[in-house]
Amino acid sequence: MTEVLKVSNLVKRFGGLTATDNLSLDLRQGEIHAVIGPNGAGKTTMIGQLIGELRPDAGTIHFMGQDITAMPVHQRSASGIARSFQITSIFQNFTALDNVALAVQAHDGHSFRFWAAARKDKSLREPALQALEQVGLAHRADITASALSHGEHRQLEIAMALATKPKLLLLDEPMAGMGPEDSARMVRMLQGIKGSVTILLIEHDMDAVFALADRITVLVYGHAIATGLPDEIRRNAQVRQAYLGDEAAAE
Amino acid sequence: MSSASHSSAAPTADSTRLSFIVGLVLLGFLGLIPILSVAFEDPFLLTLFTRIVIMAIAAVSLNLILGYGGMVSFGHAAYIGVGGYTVGILAFHGVHAAWIQWPLAVLISGIVAALIGLLSLRTKGIFFIMITLALSQLVYYLGNGAFAYGGDDGLNIMKRSDFGGLLNLDNRPTFYYLCWVILLATVFFVHRTVNSRFGMVLQGAKSNDRRMATIGFPVHRYQLTAFVLAGMICGLAGVLTATFTGFISPAMMHWSRSGDLIVMVVLGGMGSLFGPVFGTVAFLLLEEVLSSWTEYWKIVFGPLLVLVVLFARGGIDGAMVRGQAGTLLAGCAAFFLLYGIHTAYEDEWLIPTLILVAACALVWVAKWAVDRKKAASHD
User: How confident is the model over A104-148, as pLDDT tens digits?
Assistant: 998 888 889 888 888 989 999 999 999 999 888 999 999 999 899
Q: In 3-state terms, what secondary structure has residue A144?
A: strand
Whether residues B216 and A98 touch (CB distance < 8 A) is answered with: no
> Are residues A148 and A54 both part of a single domain?
no
Residue A212 in contact with residue A194, Cβ under 8 Å?
Answer: yes
Domain-located, residue A23: yes
> Are residues A171 and A75 both part of a single domain?
yes
Domain-wise residue ranges, chain B: 27-253, 272-379
Distance, CA of A149 to CA of A147 (rounded, Å): 7
Q: What is the ipTM score, two decimals?
A: 0.75
Distance, CA of A101 to CA of A141 (rounded, Å): 11
Domain-located, residue A7: yes
**Considering chain B, what percentage of its residues have pLDDT values greater than 90?**
59
For chain B, residues with pLDDT lower than 70 are: 1-16, 323-329, 341-349, 352-353, 378-379
DSSP state of B4: G
Q: What angle separates helix B77-92 from helix B219-245, to the nearest 10 degrees?
A: 50
Residue that terminates a domain, selected from A134, A165, A196: A165
> Are residues A23 and A129 both part of a single domain?
no
Q: What angle separates helix B275-291 from helix B297-311, to the nearest 10 degrees?
A: 150
> Cβ neighbours of residue A66 under 8 Å, at least 6 residues apart?
A79
Nearest to B81 by CA among B257, B281, B283, B288: B257
Among candidates B200, B219, B225 on the partner chain, residue whose Cβ is nearest the Cβ of A118: B200
Tell me what the mean pLDDT of segment A156-180 comes to: 88
Q: Which residues of B touch A103 (CB under 8 A)?
A: 215-216
Whether residues A74 and B218 touch (CB distance < 8 A) is answered with: yes
Q: In 3-state terms, what secondary structure has residue A213?
A: coil
Distance, CA of B10 to CA of A93 (rounded, Å): 10
CATH number of the domain at A234, please: 3.40.50.300
Run of H or E residues at A67: strand A66-67
Q: How close, in Å, is residue A68 to chain B by CA atoms?
A: 15
pLDDT, residue B349, reads 65
> Are residues A17 and A53 both part of a single domain?
yes
pLDDT, residue B1, reads 33
Domain-located, residue A85: no
Is residue A237 classed exposed, middle or buried when 0-12, 13-18 and 19+ CB atoms within 10 A define those classes?
Answer: exposed
Nearest to B197 by CA among A160, A161, A123, A141: A123
Q: Does A140 touch chain B (CB under 8 A)?
A: no
Q: How close, in Å, is residue A75 to chain B by CA atoms?
A: 7
> Are residues A18 and A73 both part of a single domain?
yes
> Are residues A170 and A76 both part of a single domain?
yes
> Are residues A103 and A217 both part of a single domain?
no
More confidently predicted of B199 and A92: B199
Label residue A200 by pLDDT band (50, 70, 90).
very high
Distance, CA of A175 to CA of A183 (rounded, Å): 6
Chain A to chain B Cβ contacts (< 8 Å): 92
Domain-located, residue A149: yes
Residue that terminates a domain, selected from A132, A165, A198: A165
> Are residues A143 and A173 both part of a single domain?
no
> Are residues A140 and A191 both part of a single domain?
no
Domain-located, residue A247: yes
The residue of chain A nearest to residue B10, with distances taken between CA atoms, is: A144
Among candidates A74, A101, A117 on the partner chain, residue whose Cβ is nearest the Cβ of B217: A74
Distance, CA of B206 to CA of B215 (rounded, Å): 15
Total number of domains constituting chain A? 2
Distance, CA of B278 to CA of B27 (rounded, Å): 10
Q: Does A196 touch chain B (CB under 8 A)?
A: no
CA triplet A162, A168, A169: central angle to 5 degrees?
A: 50
Q: How close, in Å, is residue A118 to chain B by CA atoms?
A: 5
Domain-located, residue A202: yes
> Are residues A205 and A131 both part of a single domain?
no
Domain limits for position A102: 92-165
> Are residues A54 and A36 both part of a single domain?
yes
Residue that terminates a domain, selected from A145, A165, A185: A165
Distance, CA of A152 to CA of A42 (rounded, Å): 27
> Are residues A99 and A206 both part of a single domain?
no
Among candidates A53, A101, A106 on the partner chain, residue whose Cβ is nearest the Cβ of B217: A106
Taking only the tens place, the pLDDT of each residue in A16-61 is 888 999 999 999 999 999 999 888 888 889 999 998 989 999 999 9
Domain-located, residue A198: yes
Whether residues B198 and A113 touch (CB distance < 8 A) is answered with: yes
Domain-located, residue A86: no
Asked whether the CA dihedral A106, A109, A112, A118 is positive or negative, the reply is negative
